[in-house]
């Protein structure tokens, strides 16, 4: 009987600890994700020019594989998208802000330097207009998004990167000319084409 009471007591303690521990773990993991998103947004600035010879071999390989590309016909943009956002990757290409994104699902987020060189990265992104088309190309599929919003936020405002229930979005992020704030261009998925 004592053994059963002891076992039940230990079981209740473990259940109680899990009720306390889970919210703490969840809060910690959310904090980590917010910190990563904030760091990614802070990494976006006017951009520095780089010497192509100094690009890390693994980045060159990822660019050459070219799994994802972004096209914005109205500003003659056709750029590869790397899978991770940090200062090194932002210097060579557009980058995915959130890890493990799937094109056509949720809010697909892409960062790019504003760049001082015309036509490079998101240099001309501020020239796009509502209603224009953004195309995300993944292997044999093209995801067409219609631009619905263009606005500015402070670097700490990461809520623009979260998924919106029952909407398939694309969110493009670059800095303003001063580098102080971020320009957000957001579009909704309107068409998916195979091939």
Which residues does the annotation mark as catalytic?
Answer: 113, 175
Which element (helix H / strand E) includes 17?
Answer: helix 2-43
Structure tokens at 19: 């009720």
Which element (helix H / strand E) includes 12?
Answer: helix 2-43
E strand intervals along the chain:
68-72, 77-82, 94-96, 107-111, 133-138, 141-153, 169-175, 182-194
The phi, psi pair for 136, rounded to 5°, reads -100, 120
Alpha helix locations (H) across 44-84?
A: 57-65
Say if CB 66 and CB 80 are below 8 A apart: yes
Structure tokens at 75: 């500003």
């Amino acid at each position: 009987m004592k053994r059963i009471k002891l076992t039940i007591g230990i079981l209740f303690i473990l259940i109680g600890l899990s009720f306390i521990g889970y919210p703490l773990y969840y809060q910690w993991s959310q904090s980590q994700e917010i910190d990563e998103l904030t760091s990614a947004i802070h990494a976006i600035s006017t951009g520095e020019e780089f010497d192509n010879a100094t690009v890390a071999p693994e980045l060159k390989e990822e660019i050459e594989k070219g799994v994802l590309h972004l096209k914005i016909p109205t500003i003659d943009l056709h750029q590869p998208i790397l899978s991770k956002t940090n200062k090194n990757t932002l210097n060579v290409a557009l980058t995915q802000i959130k890890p493990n994104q799937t094109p056509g699902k949720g809010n697909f987020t892409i960062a790019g330097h504003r760049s001082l060189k015309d036509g490079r990265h998101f240099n001309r992104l501020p020239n796009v207009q509502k209603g224009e088309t953004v195309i995300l190309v993944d292997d044999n599929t093209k995801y067409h998004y219609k631009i619905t919003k263009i606005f500015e936020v402070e670097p700490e405002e990461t809520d623009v990167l979260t998924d919106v229930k029952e909407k398939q979005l694309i969110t493009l992020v670059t800095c303003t000319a001063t580098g102080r704030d971020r320009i957000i261009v957001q579009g909704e998925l309107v068409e998916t084409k195979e091939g």
